[in-house]
Amino acid sequence: MIRALALALALLLVGCGSDVVLSIDASTIDAATTSRPGRGYAAFAMPELGGERYEIRSAVVEDLVTGLIWQRGDTGALRTLEDARAECDALELDGRDDFRLPTRVEWVSIVAPARSPTVDGDAFPDALAEYHWSTSEPDEAPGSAFSVYLGAGETTLGLASRPSARVRCVAAGPAPIDGAQHEVRDEGVHDRGTGLTWSRAVIDATTWTEARDACTAIDARLPTIRELQTLVDESRRAPAIDPALFPDTPSERHWTSTIRDAGEPQPWTVDFLDGQTYADELGDVPHVARCVI
> What pLDDT, on the 0 to 100 scale, is given for residue 37?
63
Mean pLDDT (whole number) for 104-132: 92
State the Cα–Cα distance between residues 279 and 268, nearest whole angstrom.
4
> What pLDDT, on the 0 to 100 scale, is given for residue 21?
39
CA atoms within a 13 Å half-sphere pointing along the CA-CB vector of 82: 3
Q: pLDDT tens for residues 27-55? A: 333 333 333 567 999 999 998 888 789 99
The burial of 277, by beta-carbon neighbours within 10 Å (0-12 exposed, 13-18 middle, 19 or more buried), is given as: buried
Q: pLDDT tens for residues 172-202? A: 999 999 999 999 988 699 999 999 999 999 9
The dihedral over CA atoms of 241, 246, 252, 253, expressed in degrees to the nearest 10, equals -90
Kindly tell me if the per-residue pLDDT of 1 is higher than 70: no
State the Cα–Cα distance between residues 17 and 217, nearest whole angstrom.
18
- Of the pLDDT bands very low, low, confident and very high (cuts 50, 70, 90), residue 121 is very high
Q: pLDDT tens for residues 126-164? A: 899 999 999 999 999 999 999 999 999 999 999 999 999
CATH of span 54-172: 3.10.100.10
Mean pLDDT (whole number) for 205-227: 96
- Cβ-Cβ contacts under 8 Å for 32 (sequence gap 6 or more): none
| Percent of residues, the chain, with pLDDT higher than 90 | 77
Mean pLDDT (whole number) for 198-221: 96
The contacts found for 276-285 with CB under 8 angstroms, 24 or more apart, are 276/154, 276/155, 276/156, 276/157, 277/113, 277/153, 277/154, 277/155, 277/156, 277/225, 277/229, 278/154, 278/253, 279/113, 279/152, 279/153, 279/154, 283/207, 283/208, 283/209, 284/207, 284/208, 285/207
Q: pLDDT tens for residues 2-26? A: 344 344 434 443 333 333 333 333 3
DSSP SS3 for 229: helix
**Would residue 138 be called left, alpha or beta, if left means φ above 0 and alpha means ψ between -120 and 50 degrees?**
beta
- Of the pLDDT bands very low, low, confident and very high (cuts 50, 70, 90), residue 288 is very high
Q: Where are the alpha helices (DSSP H) in 95-201?
A: 104-108
- The CA R_g of the chain, rounded to the nearest whole Å, is 19
State the Cα–Cα distance between residues 262 and 281, nearest whole angstrom.
10
State the Cα–Cα distance between residues 191 and 17, nearest whole angstrom.
15
Side chain identity, residue 195: G
> What pLDDT, on the 0 to 100 scale, is given for residue 23?
36
Q: By the 8 A CB rule, do 260 and 279 touch?
A: yes
- The conformation of residue 175, written as its DSSP 8-state character, comes to P
Average pLDDT, the chain: 88
> What pLDDT, on the 0 to 100 scale, is given for residue 116?
74
Query: CATH number of the domain at 2-40+178-289, out of 3.10.100, 3.40.50, 3.40.1630, 2.60.40?
Result: 3.10.100
Q: pLDDT tens for residues 237-246? A: 999 999 999 9
- Cβ-Cβ contacts under 8 Å for 284 (sequence gap 6 or more): 207, 208
Kindly give the pairing relationship between strand 188-191 and strand 182-185: antiparallel
Among 28-32, 54-58, 204-208, the minimum mean pLDDT is found in 28-32
Q: Which of 275, 256, 253 is nearest to 212 (CA)?
A: 256
State the Cα–Cα distance between residues 199 and 10, nearest whole angstrom.
7
Q: Indicate the pTM of the whole model.
A: 0.87
Kindly tell me if the per-residue pLDDT of 114 is higher than 60: yes
Q: Where in the chain is the domain with CATH 3.10.100.10?
A: 54-172
State the Cα–Cα distance between residues 186 and 279, nearest whole angstrom.
33
